[in-house]
Amino acid sequence: MKEGRLNFPFAAIVGQEDMKEALLLNVVYPMIGGVLIRGEKGTAKSTAVRSLAEILPKRMVVSGCPYRCALNDVDHYCNSCRERMAAGEVLSAEEASMRVIELPLNATEDRVAGTLDIEQAIRTGKKRFEPGILAMANGNILYVDEVNLLDDHIVDLLLDAAAMGVNYVEREGISYSHPSRFVLVGTMNPEEGEIRPQLLDRFGLTVDVSGDLDLTRRKEVVERRIAFERDPEAFRASYGPESARICEAIVSAQATIGKITPTEDVLDMAVQVSMHLGVDGHRADLTLVKAAMASAAMRGRDRVQREDVRRVAGMVLPHRMRRTPFEEGGLDMEELNAWMRERFP
Amino acid sequence: MDEGEVSLMNAPFPFTGVVGNDLAKKGLLAALVSPHLSGVLIRGGTGTAKTTMVRGMAGLVPGMEVVNVPLNVTEEQMLGGLDLEAVLAEGRVRRTPGLLERAGGHVLYVDEINLLTERFVHLVADARAFPQHADGAPFVLVGTMDPDEGELSPHLMDRFDIVVDIKGAKDAEERLEVLRRGMRFLRDPAGLLDGFQGEEAGLRNRIARARELLPFVTLPAGHAETIAQVVLEMEAEGSRGDIAVARTAMALAALAGREEADLDDVKTAAALCLGHRRRPARKEGERPTAEGEGDPSSGERDEAGGTSDEVLEAVAAMLPAPDRVIPIGDGMMLGNLFANARRPALERRHRSGRRDRAICTSGHGRYVRSRLPQGRLTDLAFDATFRAAAPYQFQRDRRGMALAIEPSDLREKVRMDRTGSTIVFLVDASGSMGVRERMGMVKGTVLTMLTDSYQKRDSVGLVVFHRESAEVMLPPTRSVQGAYRKLKEIPTGGKTPLALGLVKAGEVISSHISRCGGANPSLVVISDGRANVPLAGGDPFGEALDVAREISRTPIRTVVVDTGTGMPRIDRGERLAEALGGSYLRLEDMSSTQLARTIRAASLG
């Protein structure tokens, strides 16, 4: 684990509440399916994502597992953990931090999917799989900056893994599969090109960020940034308690979410909202409920309410409105809010 | 699959728990029952339970798994090859089976099959049709795709006996049930699986019985005739359709526990097997839909008691409305013009790849196979190199390593990328184009092509000329939406500086190519050719022809869409196309048929 540069603390980001909320919801409940953050340059998109590292909670993983399988998620164990378990071994736990793994734009297919371990092959004549970025991403956040500029064949790899939660490798004499369950986080500047609809659909949430127009807050942004650059250590230390508080909130929300059972009323509302907007496919309905659950958990409730659905609708639905490449997507939030207030007071 | 390779997947969502999608389920079950069916392709948008259904097939036949073909698969991996470890350890040449062999007796599943190279789809289909090992059981081929990401070409589609289009549930109650089950599976998978245990067991029994029964199932002669009539009336191509319908009907009968296929089996089978085989739009609006196919004389009664009309009607009701097929077909028609452009030199150069697949020389793109190095080696294919070196290891001095590699062993990677082409539209927005309908038609045409371009990952640019200037409204970009927005904003009016437009378009293309690379640049000129603004003070049209001849010396392929209407027709568009060395077509010719419909459907202008 590299700690090359120090991240700006998440807690010190001024404003951009939607973006922060979307990121936190995903950390609390990775099943939401990640978030795509769209906005112009200089809107703290990348800063926010990278700063997550600071507040991500620890998790219990299988000791010695190269994919850091979650200890209590036997259903998604990798082959080696399964074999160890089948051989009667009692798997022990170790603590690992959830991390932000970056997928650089210039990453090659080999690097992303993993490939033949060349050194091993030459030295011993044995084929061994050398894990790639999709392996590192298992149980973590996979972050792609400028995700709209990612090469098509890399996007295909991501789609495969995101759809199955498994990375299947059939290349270079290697036939291998391992779990690859990650929270996909992408940032992009829409001016530089669109994102492939299929990839777009894989993101659970989207948020659009723009520069803050409030003068006081703008000033605050600059001041904090300068303070950080002048003395990163001290700046981070000054936000230490706040970071710890957020981390605790995440841990407690993660515990709460297991207790939530969405009510029939909330399920019905999710379906009605999607249908009202003419959104096809069932992913929207499911994601609305999942995000609403996380939203409730974040607020310390173990019951999902209509207000949770209302709160997350603006993040779940905008990117699902478009049905053909040419229909301009666009969610009239005012209309939707009015409709929701009337239909589901 | 392989020994020691434990299935990674936790139990999939139960097949019987998938709400609705009855036709698709029947198709998949028929394929599980009948070893003669060549494969099932399921087409549908995102989030329509395609993958869920296919993954649910695991275990419906005892011991049968769903084997994935990942999009990153290499050719060697698919077909198998020399077992490296065996050679090195024992000095024995042994074959290691490829994915296609390992899938024998299982479901071979290709998700996003439309994103796989055409060559790979053929490899898979060939392996299904001609198994390499007579003793091994064939695999059940299942593909899924989202048509929004690009179509599978008709001849590839034809390799699947069964093609089903699916949609998400429309009805609120059904949708709610999908959501309930989805949430349940997420929160309490064991509970949900328990709930469907009975149904799953019942289905497993039904399939097992059907597999035993199938050899004894017959198709009454009358039904065979009905099938032939239906296939003929639907103008399905080839005789694969007839055979597929018959096989499927028999499999469906076996599933129902009957020894004879009945008319309902035939109807369902026809809906499963013929939708993708209909000849594309023969006559305007004359697709065999319920209201379109009303000729009673064709409905002869056969002895089994059904008429082909009845079947047709039933089939039409089951198949999706064909409206969305038309614009795509149109796009293909236009797209194909590039292939027919009179550019012999260029064609030779591009013969090796599809329009949307370029072999890349840089380290980018998907590694598809290996070859002997061509020129300086920069992209070593380790696996192929090792395999090439392996047989000689016992003779070579290995100096303590497991492998001694010599220059003759070296292999390089062949990579392919879907870079797509660069297409620039040069649109005449002068006063003569101002007639509302004509500009509408132009926009419709461009829109059709944009859909095609989008699916092929092309970069699309837009240059518009009118009055005294030519304006780059959109530099080549993959943001087709951007192109679409700009298209809506095209102003019209003024004179026709055609030569200037051509110059500008040429510049745009060459600068884009030099900056971003990309193969197969194309220029689509949409104009009536009535140039009336000179570039350098000469004859406006003569100058345009000069520029056109310049362009003809570049690798840019061209199409001229002549927007001129009425009589007397002037031949300027044709002369321009000739000077460009490109294809020529008249907007007018297409306006009466599919094109007008495309435009209406897109409600442009």
Looking at beta carbons, which residues of chain A come within 8 Å of B165?
A: none
Are B34 and B128 in a shared domain?
yes
| Domain boundary pick from B386, B417, B448 | B417
Q: Is B205 on the interface with A (CB under 8 A)?
A: no
Do B430 and B492 meet the contact criterion of CB atoms below 8 Å apart?
Answer: yes
- How close does chain A come to B228, measured CA to CA in Å? 36
Nearest to A125 among B6, B365, B403 (CB): B403
Q: Is B134 on the interface with A (CB under 8 A)?
A: no
Give me the mean pLDDT over the A92-103 stretch. 90
Q: Is B312 exposed, middle or buried (0-12, 13-18, 19+ CB in 10 A)?
A: buried
Cα distances (Å, whole numbers) of residue B363 to A107, A254, B72: 11, 43, 15
Q: Compare all CA atoms of chain B with the CA of A265 and give the residue at the minimum distance.
A: B176
Looking at residue B217, its pLDDT comes to: 94
How far is A136 from A261, CA to CA, in rounded Å? 32
| Mutant choice from B2, B8, B76 vs A, greatest count of A C-beta within 10 A | B8
Q: Is the pLDDT confidence value at A308 over 50?
A: yes
SS (H, E, C) B248-276: HHHHHHHHCCCCECCHHHHHHHHHHHHHH
> Do residue B180 and residue A267 have CB atoms under 8 angstroms apart?
yes
Looking at beta carbons, which residues of chain A come within 8 Å of B99?
A: 170, 175
> Do residue A281 and residue B46 have CB atoms under 8 angstroms apart?
yes
Give the three-state DSSP class for B312: helix
- Asked if the structure places residue B202 within a domain, the reply is no
B240 tagged catalytic: yes
Structure-token pair, residue B473: 């409204």
Count residue pairs from A and B with Cβ separation < 8 A.
Answer: 207
Please list the residues that pair with B166 across neighbouring strands: B44
> Do residue B183 and residue A156 have CB atoms under 8 angstroms apart?
no
- Catalytic: which of A283, A301, A306, A322? A283
Looking at residue B566, its pLDDT comes to: 61
Q: Compare all CA atoms of chain A with the CA of B364 and give the residue at the minimum distance.
A: A108
| Domain boundary pick from B417, B448, B468 | B417
How far is B70 from B47, CA to CA, in rounded Å? 19
Residue B452 belongs to domain with CATH number: 3.40.50.410
> Do residue A123 and residue B387 have CB atoms under 8 angstroms apart?
no
Q: Compare all CA atoms of chain A with the CA of B75 and give the residue at the minimum distance.
A: A171
- Asked if the structure places residue B245 within a domain, the reply is yes
Closest to B524 measured CA to CA, from B450, B427, B595, B594: B427
Q: Is the pLDDT confidence value at A107 over 60?
A: yes
Nearest to B183 among A166, A262, A274 (CB): A262
Indicate the pairing of strand B40-44 with strand B162-166: parallel
- How close does chain A come to B55, measured CA to CA in Å? 10
- How close does chain B come to A214, measured CA to CA in Å? 30
> Do residue B482 and residue A79 have CB atoms under 8 angstroms apart?
no
Q: What is the pTM of this model?
A: 0.74
Looking at residue A328, its pLDDT comes to: 52
Output b/e per residue, B450-483; b: 16+ Cβ within 10 A.
Answer: bbbbbbbbbbbbbbbbbbeebbebbbbbbbbbbb
> Do residue A109 and residue B89 have CB atoms under 8 angstroms apart?
no
Q: Is A34 left (phi over 0), alpha (psi -120 to 50) or beta?
A: left
| Domain boundary pick from B302, B319, B336 | B319
Are B496 and B587 in a shared domain?
yes
Q: Compare all CA atoms of chain B with the CA of A116 and give the residue at the minimum distance.
A: B383
Pick the CATH number of A33-57+98-209 from 3.90.1150.10, 3.40.50.300, 3.40.50.720, 1.10.10.10: 3.40.50.300
| pLDDT, tens only, B531-562 | 888 888 888 899 999 999 988 888 788 888 88
Whether residue B568 has a cis bond before it, omega within 30° of 0: yes
> Do residue A109 and residue B186 have CB atoms under 8 angstroms apart?
no
Nearest to B8 among A179, A268, A290 (CB): A179
Q: Between B144 and A4, whose confidence is greater?
A: B144
Interface of B with A in 304-343 (CB under 8 A): none
To the nearest 10°, report the CA torsion of B125, B129, B131, B132: -80
> Do residue B176 and residue A123 have CB atoms under 8 angstroms apart?
no
- Asked if the structure places residue B158 within a domain, the reply is yes
How far is B235 from B280, CA to CA, in rounded Å? 9
Interface of B with A in 453-472 (CB under 8 A): 454, 457
Among A125-139, A161-175, B33-47, the range scoring the smallest mean pLDDT is: A161-175
Q: Phi, psi (5° rounding) for residue A67?
A: -105, 5
Looking at residue B75, its pLDDT comes to: 80
Are B381 and B459 in a shared domain?
no
How far is B437 from B565, CA to CA, in rounded Å? 12
Nearest to A286 among B2, B182, B367 (CB): B182
Nearest to B89 among A125, A166, A201 (CB): A125
Give me the mean pLDDT over the A258-272 stretch. 93
| pLDDT, tens only, A51-96 | 998 899 888 899 888 899 988 888 888 888 888 888 888 888 898 8
**What topology is assigned to A264-343 in CATH?**
Helicase, Ruva Protein; domain 3 (1.10.8)
The greatest distance separating any two alpha carbons of chain A, rounded to the nearest whole angstrom, comes to 70
Q: Compare all CA atoms of chain A with the CA of B47 and give the residue at the minimum distance.
A: A281
> Do residue B175 and residue A275 have CB atoms under 8 angstroms apart?
yes
Ranges in chain A annotated CATH 1.10.8.80: 264-343
Angle between the N-to-C axes of helices B308-318 and B263-274, in degrees from 0 to 180, rounded to the nearest 10: 50
- Asked if the structure places residue B51 within a domain, the reply is yes
> Do residue A171 and residue B367 have CB atoms under 8 angstroms apart?
yes
Are B428 and B413 in a shared domain?
no
Nearest to B363 among A108, A268, A324 (CB): A108
| Mutant choice from A80, A115, A167, A177 vs B, greatest count of B C-beta within 10 A | A177
Which residue range is the domain that position B395 belongs to?
358-417
- How close does chain A come to B95, measured CA to CA in Å? 12
Closest to B203 measured CA to CA, from B389, B43, B14: B14
Do B421 and B521 meet the contact criterion of CB atoms below 8 Å apart?
Answer: yes
Looking at beta carbons, which residues of chain A come within 8 Å of B186?
A: 31, 286, 290
> Do residue B74 and residue A172 have CB atoms under 8 angstroms apart?
yes
Looking at residue B151, its pLDDT comes to: 76
> Do residue A78 and residue B447 have CB atoms under 8 angstroms apart?
no
Interface of B with A in 562-601 (CB under 8 A): none
- Asked if the structure places residue B334 within a domain, the reply is no
Residue A315 banded pLDDT, cuts 50, 70, 90: very high
> Do residue B482 and residue A194 have CB atoms under 8 angstroms apart?
yes
Structure-token pair, residue B161: 């006996």
> Do residue A170 and residue B602 have CB atoms under 8 angstroms apart?
no
Looking at beta carbons, which residues of chain B come within 8 Å of A110?
A: 367
Are B432 and B306 in a shared domain?
no
- Asked if the structure places residue B367 within a domain, the reply is yes
Looking at beta carbons, which residues of chain B come within 8 Å of A281?
A: 45-48, 168
Are B68 and B140 in a shared domain?
yes
Half-sphere exposure (CA, 13 Å, Cβ side) for A90?
0
Residue B87 belongs to domain with CATH number: 3.40.50.300
Looking at residue A117, its pLDDT comes to: 79
Output b/e per residue, A103-141; b: 16+ Cβ within 10 A.
Answer: beeebbbbbbbbbbbbeebbeebebebbbbbbbbbbbbb
Do B548 and B502 meet the contact criterion of CB atoms below 8 Å apart?
Answer: yes
Are B272 and B403 in a shared domain?
no
Nearest to B45 among A171, A261, A280 (CB): A280
Nearest to A82 among B6, B146, B178 (CB): B6
Are B297 and B406 in a shared domain?
no
Looking at residue B168, its pLDDT comes to: 77
Which stretches of chain B drop beneath a pLDDT of 70? 1-10, 88-92, 131-136, 235-238, 279-311, 316-365, 417-421, 433-438, 441, 445, 448-458, 478-483, 514-520, 565-569, 588-605
- Asked if the structure places residue B344 within a domain, the reply is no
Are B469 and B571 in a shared domain?
yes
Ranges in chain A annotated CATH 3.40.50.300: 33-57+98-209
Looking at residue A307, its pLDDT comes to: 94
Please list the residues that pair with A168 across neighbouring strands: A177
Closest to B230 measured CA to CA, from B331, B326, B125, B300: B300
Are B52 and B163 in a shared domain?
yes
| pLDDT, tens only, A25-49 | 999 999 999 999 998 887 889 989 9
Give the three-state DSSP class for B34: coil
Are B596 and B450 in a shared domain?
yes
DSSP state of A281: S
> Residue length, chain B?
605
Looking at residue A323, its pLDDT comes to: 52
Are B261 and B222 in a shared domain?
yes
Total domain count for chain B? 4
- State the complex-level ipTM: 0.84
> Do residue A109 and residue B366 have CB atoms under 8 angstroms apart?
yes
Nearest to A282 among B8, B85, B178 (CB): B178
- Catalytic: which of B240, B258, B396, B586? B240
> Do residue A116 and residue B383 have CB atoms under 8 angstroms apart?
yes
